[in-house]
Chains A and B, each alone.
Chain A
Amino acid sequence: MTELEAGRAQTLVPARSGAALQRYRDVLIALIAFAVLASLPLFTGSKALLDFVIRCSAYGLFATSLNLLVGYTGLTSFGHGMFFGLGAYSFGLIMQKLGVPIPVAFVATLAITAVVAAIIGAICVRLKEIYFAFVTLAFQMLIHSTILSWASFTGGDQGLRGGIPRPVFLGIDLSDHVHLYVTSCALLILGLLAMHQIAQSPFGYTLRMIRDNAARASFLGIDVWRAKLTVFVLAALFASMGGMVMALFVSGAYPEFAYWTISGEGIFINMLGGVSTFLGPMVGTVLLLLLNDTVTRFTEYHGIVLGVVILFFALGLRKGLLDFVADWLAQRRDAGEGR
């Protein structure tokens, strides 16, 4: 067991009667979180703050979905960003070319993502560790170069320009900044809630078992390949959701959304926040975006600063921030019980 895994082992399966209770509690927390986020525009007129939350929603969905693979299943995908880019591009293209209502484009994009992820996943998930990382990276770059070279359809290196039309649907007007803000908060909360349900479900515990000992899981009658493929597709769906939020926010899609650096940032966010807790990636997202915004304000060489921070986390703390907090709490509790 590596250091990272050691911290995760302590999570216990909740008792069956507790499961329903847990679900109500999750929904309640989600509702409160949404209420707090959604009421933010009432208190502040700061467009920058709302923009920040929208970006956090996009990256948060993406990073948390990556954690389903990295943290829960032990699949280190280095190409998860392809689904972020795919979501942004499919959504933008559908809206531009077909002019359908937004929810239709949303569902259609999810369907496209599911099909693509199923095909790529079917090829990738049987590979081990580093090879899995490389092949996902290769697929990411394949999609990226397809976007670049299919210029007549995707706009090539200029990106999808001309804006994404946002017809009003049921009174929700996404060209209005506050409406867009509330919608992305809702998507974030819904996405997180759904992912948490997946993580806490029996299927989620199957994934943990595969991560810790795939051979054993296989002996117990679990179809490892199918479970891995399922989580690969599920994670892709949420990453694609993040991409759609991003496309709505910038009203376009750019090749960088599908570039490998998005995947690199996703991994980094996960490390920053910690992979042993569900909300770790969310914390990491906020940290990274804050860091990026502050650093770019002071220096044009933000690579150096970011690099040093990464080194501090990787070599100094050796775990994410939330892992650190969780361990510290656990230690304190143990010390308290010992007496």
Chain B
Amino acid sequence: MTQTTSGLIIGMLLFLVAVGLTLIFGVLKVVNFSHGAFYMFGAYFAMTTYQLTESFALAMLAGAAGTAILGLVFERVFMSRVYGADVLMQLLVCYAFVLIFDDVVRIIWGPEFKAMGMPAAFQVMPLFIAGGVVPPYYLLLIGVALVAAIVLGLGLSRSRIGKVIRAAAHNPGMVSALGINTGLIYGGVFALGGMLAGLAGALAAPVRSLTPGMGFSVLIESFIVTVIGGMGSILGALIGALLLGLIRSFGSQGFPLFVEGLMYLFMVIVLVSKPTGLFGKEAA
């Protein structure tokens, strides 16, 4: 049970990052290689806010809102210039920002490991569920991620905005001709994706250590998640993230040194048997 919950929280954090990635890819057809940076900034924003205000809620809000703004600016100022360009070009712009953002964090917060510390409200006895130890904070984490998944899923399929977003993903020219500002939608989707990654970073801040390179390992893992689940599929991201989280936590028991290798192996197996991922649609 302890293994399962730790797998679940890894999976849930990964899901929040990966779903933003998959959303951005689904709508903008851009692979946001700098997505890990938003996770990183979310964590750092949360830490600073928490140290200043001592409020956990404000820290989460700062992590999410800060990265949403960052995402919007990043998309409008830079990414919007390379739509339709070579994939290589988009990757390069993102690669440039991975380098820049990591150094910005190094300059502002310093290169050493930081810790936010667990808020007092959660420093209570862990719960014992089905023979396993579950810290209450984990429950909050899983809850938030589940709510995000449900809101996103329902929002995209049922609400008007969701329909517009899906339409814009399908045929941006037509949506634009109908008098809808597609630039605003693109920016919004990017901000939403950034916000989710930032929220994941903020949620992870109390339980993980913060370092300038922290975004990258998350990025690689969330790539694996989106690729396993199928690019552009929210359900795929959820399933993929949970699978990967479980592989990580159980794999660290069986093969402590080859955990990463296991994940890549899993990805290769999925892709070879179904190149579009578990829930991906055939070539769009």
Q: Which residues of chain B from 97 to 154 have any CB-CB distance to chain A below 8 Å in the complex?
A: 97-100, 102-104, 106-107
Residue of A4, A128, A304 with most chain B CB atoms under a 10 A cut-off:
A304
Chain B residues positioned under 8 Å from A34 (CB to CB): none
Contacts between the two chains (Cβ within 8 Å), count: 119
* B231 closest partner in A (C-beta): A130
Assembly CA distance A116 to B283 (angstroms)? 29
Binds B, one of A9-17, A53-61, A183-191, A307-315: A307-315
Q: Chain B at the A interface: mostly helix, strand, loop or mixed?
A: helix
Given contacts A131-B227, A142-B265, is CB(A314)–CB(B271) below 8 Å?
Answer: no
B91–A142 contact, CB under 8 A? Answer: no
For A303, list chain B residues within 8 Å (CB). Answer: 99-100, 102-103, 106
Docked CA distance A129–B98 (Å): 22
CB-based nearest B residue for A264? B95
A139 sits at the interface (CB 8 A)? yes
Tell me which residues across on chain A come within 8 A of B83, comparing CB atoms: none
Judged by a CB distance under 8 angstroms, whether A135 is at the interface is yes
**Would you call A310 and B264 a contact (CB within 8 A)?**
no
Kindly report which residue of chain A lies nearest to residue B260, judged by CB atoms.
A145
Residues of A within 8 A of B257 (CB): 148-149, 151
In the bound complex, do residue B82 and residue A315 qualify as a contact, i.e. CB atoms below 8 Å apart?
Answer: yes
A145 to B97 CA separation, bound complex (whole angstroms) = 25
In the complex, A268 has a CB within 8 A of chain B:
yes
Q: Which of B52-98 contact A (CB under 8 A)?
A: 78, 81-82, 85-89, 91-93, 95-98
A267-B261 contact in complex given A130-B231, A131-B271, A303-B102, C-beta closer than 8 Å: no
Residues of chain A with a CB closer than 8 A to B96's CB: 306-308, 310-311, 314
Chain B's nearest CB lies how many Å from the CB of A301? 4
Q: Shortest distance in angstroms between B41's beta carbon and chain A's nearest beta carbon?
A: 15
Report A-chain residues with C-beta under 8 Å of the C-beta of B267: 134-135, 138
Give the chain A neighbours of B264 by CB distance below 8 A: 138-139, 141-142, 145
By a CB distance below 8 angstroms, the chain A residues around B104 are: 304
- Which one of A2, A134, A302 has the highest number of Cβ atoms from chain B below 10 Å of its Cβ? A134
B-contact 0/1 string along A137-175, CB 8 Å cutoff = 111011001101101000000000000000000000000
Q: Is the CB of B272 within 8 A of A149?
A: no
Contacts A70-B88, A131-B271, A145-B258; is A307 near B82 (CB within 8 Å)? no
A4 touches B223 (CB 8 A): no
Say yes or no: A76-B88 contact (C-beta < 8 A), given A131-B227, A145-B261, A306-B99.
yes
Against A, the Cβ 8 Å flags (1 = close, 0 = not) of B231-258 are 1000000000000000000000001011
Q: Which residues of B contact A146 (CB under 8 A)?
A: 258, 261
Contact-residue bracket for chain A: 35 or more
A130-B92 CB under 8 A given contacts A303-B99, A315-B82 = no
CB-contacts of A245-298 with B (<8 A): 260, 264, 267-268, 271
Say yes or no: is A3 at the interface (Cβ < 8 Å to chain B).
Answer: yes
Q: Are B258 and A267 in contact (CB under 8 A)?
A: no
Report which of B88, B103, B258, B283 forms a contact with A304, defined as CB distance below 8 A. B103
Question: Nearest residue in B to A270 (C-beta to C-beta)?
Answer: B88
CA gap between A300 and B85 in the complex, in Å: 32
| Most central of B81, B92, B93, B97 by chain A CB within 10 Å | B92
By the criterion CB–CB under 8 Å, are B87 and A268 in contact?
Answer: no
A329 to B172, CA, bound (A): 38
**Is A123 engaged at the interface, CB distance under 8 Å to the other chain?**
yes
Residues of B within 8 A of A260 (CB): 220
Interface presence of B175 (CB below 8 A): no
CB pair A4–B103 under 8 Å, yes or no, is: no
**Given A142-B268, A145-B264, are A131 and B275 neighbors across the interface (CB < 8 Å)?**
yes
- Which residues of chain B are within 8 angstroms of A141 by Cβ–Cβ distance? 220, 260, 264
Q: State in angstroms the CA–CA spacing of A271 and B88 once bound together.
A: 8
Tell me the smallest distance from the CB of B100 to a CB of chain A, in Å: 4
Which chain A residue shows the least CB distance to B111?
A300
Inter-subunit contact B268/A318 (CB<8 Å): no
CA distance A330 to B72 in the complex (A): 40
Q: Return the CB mask of B205-247 against A: 1 if under 8 Å, else 0.
A: 0000000000000001001100100010000000000000000
Partner of A318, one of B78, B89, B99, B224: B89
In angstroms, Cα B100 to Cα A135, docked, is: 26
A305 to B107, CA, bound (A): 13
A301 to B95, CA, bound (A): 16
11 further A-B contacts with Cβ under 8 Å, apart from A126-B275, A260-B220, A318-B85, are A131-B275, A135-B268, A137-B223, A139-B268, A142-B264, A149-B260, A267-B92, A307-B98, A310-B95, A314-B82, A315-B93
Can you list 6 A-B pairs with a CB-CB distance of less than 8 A? A134-B223, A138-B267, A141-B264, A268-B95, A314-B89, A315-B78
Which residues on B are within 8 Å of A, measured CB to CB? Answer: 31, 78, 81-82, 85-89, 91-93, 95-100, 102-104, 106-107, 220, 223-224, 227, 231, 255, 257-258, 260-261, 264-265, 267-268, 271-272, 275-276, 283
Across the A-B interface, the 3 shortest Cβ-Cβ residue pairs: A149-B257, A307-B100, A310-B96
